[in-house]
Structure 1
Amino acid sequence: MSKPWSEVDLDGSALVVVDAQAGFDDPWWGTRNNPDCDRHIAALVTEWARTGRPLVYVRHDSDSPDSPLHPSRPGNELKPYLEPEPDLLVTKQVNSAFHGTPDLHAWLQLNAIQGLVVCGITTNHCCETTARVGGNLGYQVLFALDATHTFDRTGPDDRSLTADQLATATAVNLHGEFAHVTSTAELLAESRRGTGPRTGA
């Protein structure tokens, strides 16, 4: 279970920016939600850099030659707003940022970091998976839902869900068990007050 907000220390939390890569702007992925996602990620990155808090970027190096995220393609590059130098760059080929190189869990432990703020792309795949694994490993996870986006998906029975529906499902799946689901505005407000989020905020 995630801790109440009154017990979360933003100063001891790393911002983990998952797969904010140019390739996700490719029409190949289909219809997306949340056009404000990039602006919100950029705001969180700027705030973490300003305050000197730990900053982690994660890059997905797809092993599929057809993917816009394949290392041979320009879409593999991180988005331009990830200009501040990260404390750690993790590369991966699976969903979880904890299953990449270098070892994110080992680095967090070495630096005595107990909290994570997760944002990035996509909401219900790599961001949700990273939050789940982080929660299972004992980290206090804040999930910045509006600093993520995803795409419409069709299941094996040909039933389709919109990107907004999938994002809502992620929020329901995570909140109160793997993470505390929050917003960019709330995180920025609490950061500028110099405190962690508060219960009931």
Structure 2
Amino acid sequence: MKEPITGRDLVVISAISAGFGLLLAWGLFYRWGSAPPHKPIDLPAWVQAIGSVLAIGVAIWIPWRESRRRDAEMARALEVQATLVAGGISPLISIYLRRISFYRRMLDGPRDQATLKQAIREDCFDVLPALLNYQPLLNPLGRTGILANEFIGELYLLTMGVKIIHHETVTIQNHRRMIEICDRAGRVAETLLRELDEICPPRRDEFS
């Protein structure tokens, strides 16, 4: 794909053109202007001077162009990585969101602790190994990667609430705290899913 000319390229081209133009104008002025007519122009010297200016310009332009090419390749690689990571973790977040919704419904009602213990698995909010494997690769996602890390933190808080249900006594205070954490985790998951879908849109069945 042909890369567009940037402002930096235009500066280099303008500098080379300006240098060439100044040298040419100086030569013409020197030949037909105020200089004594009996002194001829030293054409080899002028050719050498112009060649030196062009060589300097090329020496500056080539590294800049190479740097732009490397930057473009790096940006494309990061974009591909972000798409792969987003597509990989999006189904996992969907699973957790369904579990959060069920957990919230169970908390929202006059259910005793025995019912909660029976309905809610103790490991339902454990961080899946697949999600942990993606965690070091979240940086290319930018703000979405930060949000994904925030959601992983919410999973640990949800797990603490479930452990209270299974191993301690659910009081009014920690029940309210569970609901608060559950609502917040649900909001984070919904926002995260929207942003992941923007990075890697979910595939649709073209025949559906």
TM-score bucket of the superposed structures, by smaller chain: under 0.3
TM-score, normalised with respect to structure 1: 0.23
Larger Rg: 2
TM-score, normalised with respect to structure 2: 0.23
Greater relative CO, 1 or 2 (CA 8 Å, sep 6+)? 1
User: Which structure is higher in helix share?
Assistant: 2
User: Which structure is higher in strand share?
Assistant: 1
